Amino acid sequence: MKRILLTLMVVVAGLSLIAPDASAQTDNRNTGPARRQKLMDDWHKDMAEFRARSAEDRQLRELADSVASVQARAALRNQDFVLEADNVQFRNGSTVFVNSSTNFISVKGNRAVVQISPSNFASGPNGLGGVTVDGMISGQEIRTDSKGRITYSFNVMGIGINAQVEIYMFPNSNQASATVYPNFNSNTVWLQGTIVPYENSNVIEGNSL
């Protein structure tokens, strides 16, 4: 009899230890779907906030591009601008990424400066690793096609070098490209960069030829 009672006490004690674990598992099963739903809701909320921020950032970028485009077009038409180049392509097809502060085309009234300085190591004739042409503008012409692209062409006559320049500005942007045709050789050069008002530019002008 004592042995039976002892056995029952052991069984009851075991059940009392197991019961809390079973309850915890039941709670986990009951709260699992709710927790997953909360995680999904939080994820959707985070994504909605991310999309809202992205849309706002995109609108700000578009507004900034629009303002930059208007300023660049006005500066171009007023002959008061700088095309700051970030890459230069030469006749042999090689393209060099360059410093926009030393590679540029500037126009201020009837004066223009064309500076190509692709080297950061050699001083070059202008002291900045390239060539600088500083002279007066002649034969200028501005054209706008049906798609809103502007072509601004002119001649610049320096002391020892003359060149013909054509600048192409894309619509709804201050991005532009330019072609420089030196009249003393056939070493045509192409530049790509952005147009900014003259007063907003921080270019470094070297010694002109």
**Class of CATH domain 73-200:** mainly beta
Mean pLDDT in the chain? 80
pLDDT of residue 10: 40
By DSSP bridging, strand 80-90 and strand 189-197 are antiparallel
**Number of other residues whose CB lies within 10 A of the CB of residue 12:** 10
> Mind listing the pLDDT tens digit of every residue in the chain (209 residues)?
544 444 444 434 444 444 445 444 545 555 577 888 888 878 877 777 777 777 666 666 666 667 888 999 999 999 999 999 999 999 888 899 999 999 999 999 999 999 998 876 567 777 787 888 889 999 999 999 988 899 999 999 887 678 899 999 988 889 999 999 987 667 899 999 999 999 999 999 888 76
Backbone angles phi, psi at 97, to 5 degrees: -80, 130
Q: Are 64 and 58 in contact (CB under 8 A)?
A: no
Q: Which two tokens stand for residue 70?
A: 């208007």
Per-residue pLDDT tens digits for 169-189: 988 889 999 999 987 667 899
Q: Are 114 and 165 in contact (CB under 8 A)?
A: yes
The rounded Cα 117 to chain-centroid distance in angstroms is: 22
Taking CA 206 as the corner, what is the angle to CA 110 and CA 90, rounded to the nearest 5 degrees? Answer: 85
> What residue spans define the domains of the chain?
73-200
